[in-house]
Amino acid sequence: MNGDDPQRYDRMRRVPQPFANPGAPSMPPQRREPHPPGRRGPGPDPRHIDPTNIIRRDGSDSAPPLAYSQVPPETRMPPRRAPQPPQQPQPYHEPRGVPGYAPPQRPVPYQEPQSLRPRREVPPPPPSSPPSRRQREPRPPRRRRKLHLFRWFLVLLVVLVLAIVGAVVKLDGSLNRIDALANYSGRVGDTPGTNWLLVGSDGRAGLTADQEQELATGGEVGPERTDTIMLVHIPKSGPTTLVSLPRDSYVSIPGQGKDKLNAAFAFGGAPLLVQTVETATGVHIDHYAQIGFGGFAGIVDTLGGIDVCVPKAIDDPLAGINLAAGCQTLDGPQALGFVRSRATALADIDRMNNQRLFMAALLKKVTGAGTLANPFTLWPLASDTAKSLKVDKGDHIWNLGQLGWAMRGDTVATTVPIGGFTDTDSGNVLLWDKQRAGQFFDDLAKDQPIPGDLLTR
C-alpha cells in the first residue's frame, strides 16, 4: 500500500455518481450495498462514473477537473443542441409519370372471422335474484313474434272447435227420442228432397198446476192430442215449402177407418200419425219432431218474446188471450194462445194461417245475428229446445240445425187445397179438393215447384 499512488487509491475509493458537467455541484456519497459473491451488485455502472466527482480519503472533493478529452468515450454525454422549431408536416404528393410506383392504397381494418371469435357466455343469475336487463333474453325478431301469435291463434281455434263439438254432443244426448218412423207394410218409397213432419201437441207432462193455469191448457182432457201438423219439404234447390195440414182433415186412418187427422195421433201416437200422413199425401217422411205446451212457451220466453203482426183482434178466454190487431211482442203464454185459438171467423183456417205467421217470425229471430252471436241467448235456447223436443230415434241435433237453416230465408207457406166442410159422425170435418190436392202432393213428392194456382196463402 505504501508504494501505491495515493491519487490512484483515492480514485479506487470513489463512489460512483451519474455523469455531470464540469463545475456542477457534487452529489452526497452513496452507501454501497453488499451483494452476493460472483454477482454484480446494485448501483451505477462504473463506466458511467464521473471522474471529476472524486471523494478523497481526507473527505475533500477538490480534485482537479479533467479535460473533456480525458473522459472515457463511453461516459461522455453528447453535446447539447439548440432547440429546433417544429416542422410542419408536408402533404404527400403522388409522383406522376414515374414508372414503378403503385397507387396509394388505403389500409383495410382487419376483421376477425365470425367462426373464430370466442362466444361470450353470460353466467346465469342466482335463482333468488331477478335477471338484470343485460342478462335477459334478446327480443325475438318480428318473424318469430308472428309465428308465436299464429300458434296461439291455432290453440284458441282448437279449443273453440272442441267446445263446439262438446256442446253438440251434449245437446244431442238431451233429445227425447221415440220410434216415430216405424216401418209398415206398403210404406211409400223414398222421395226426392227432405221431408219433415212437425207436430205441436197438447201434452202437459212436467207442468205444475200454476203453469197449466197460466198457459190455459184446460186441465187434463184424456189422451194426448195434436193441434198443429205441418209438412216441411226441403228441395235439392229452391225455396223450402211449409204446408199446413188442418187437424180436422177427413182422412183414412189405417186400422181405424175415416176420421179427423188429429185422431190418428190420439189412437196410435206419432207412428200412426206418420203412417196416416204418408198414406194421404204420398210423400215419404224422413224426420219427425214434436213439441208440447211447456216447451213451446219456454222457447218464446228464452228469446225474449216474438214480434208478430196480428191480422185480426182475438179474444179467446179458452186460450187465455185477448190480443188487439197490429204488430206487438208476444210472450210465451200469449204466443201459445195465438197458435191454438179458433175464436175467429174462419176458425181452423185462421188458426193455420196464424201458425204459419208465427213460425216465420220465430225462425227469423232464432236465425238472426243477435241470437246466433250471443252465447248467453243461444246456449239456453238450444238447451231448452233440445229438452222439450221429441224426435225420431234416427234424428240428431245437426238435423234440426239443417231444418232451421233451410227455413231461415224466404219460404213458400201454404196449406193443402180445401174442398169444403161437412158434418160426419166425427163432427164437422174439413174435406180436401181431391183433384187439386192430388196434383199438389204429386209435385211435392217429385221435388218440383208447386204451381201458383195451387197455393193457398
Question: The domain that contains 432 carries what CATH number?
Answer: 3.40.630.190
Q: Say if 92 falls within a structural domain.
A: no
Instruction: Give me the residue label for grid cell 409519370.
Output: 97
Domain that holds residue 154: 144-173
Cell triple for 25: 455541484
pLDDT bin (cut points 50, 70, 90) of residue 128 is: low
Based on the fold, state whether residues 201 and 230 are members of the same structural domain. yes
Last residue of a domain, one of 131, 157, 173: 173
Q: Which of 144-148, 281-285, 400-404, 413-417 has the lowest mean pLDDT?
A: 144-148
Closest CA to 313 of 302, 300, 326: 326
Based on the fold, state whether residues 225 and 169 are members of the same structural domain. no
The distance of Cα 5 from the centroid of its chain, to the nearest Å, equals 115
Q: Which of 144-148, 219-223, 366-370, 446-450 has the lowest mean pLDDT?
A: 219-223
Based on the fold, state whether residues 364 and 392 are members of the same structural domain. yes
Closest CA to 51 of 97, 108, 12, 5: 12
pLDDT bin (cut points 50, 70, 90) of residue 34 is: low
Closest CA to 198 of 229, 176, 227: 229
- Tell me: pLDDT of 255 over 80: yes
Q: What are 145-190's pLDDT values in tens digits?
A: 667 777 888 888 888 888 888 888 888 888 899 999 988 888 988 8
Range 360-381 average pLDDT? 84
Query: Does residue 70 come out as left (phi exceeding 0), alpha (psi in the -120 to 50 range) or beta?
Result: alpha
Q: Say if 237 falls within a structural domain.
A: yes
Count CB atoms within 10 A of the CB of residue 92. 6
pLDDT bin (cut points 50, 70, 90) of residue 1 is: very low
Q: How many structural domains does the chain have?
A: 2
Based on the fold, state whether residues 162 and 254 are members of the same structural domain. no
| Predicted model pTM | 0.63
Q: Could you tell me which residue, 206 or 323, shows the higher pLDDT?
A: 323
Based on the fold, state whether residues 240 and 355 are members of the same structural domain. yes
Q: Say if 131 falls within a structural domain.
A: no
Based on the fold, state whether residues 293 and 201 are members of the same structural domain. yes
Based on the fold, state whether residues 292 and 364 are members of the same structural domain. yes
Please answer whether residues 379 and 153 qualify as being in contact, where contact means their C-beta atoms are separated by less than 8 angstroms: no
Q: What are 97-118's pLDDT values in tens digits?
A: 555 556 666 777 767 666 555 6
Based on the fold, state whether residues 155 and 257 are members of the same structural domain. no
Please answer whether residues 235 and 325 qualify as being in contact, where contact means their C-beta atoms are separated by less than 8 angstroms: no
Count CB atoms within 10 A of the CB of residue 252. 13
DSSP state letter for 407: T
Q: Phi and psi at residue 2, in whole multiples of 5°?
A: -70, -30
The pLDDT, as a whole number, for residue 14 is 52
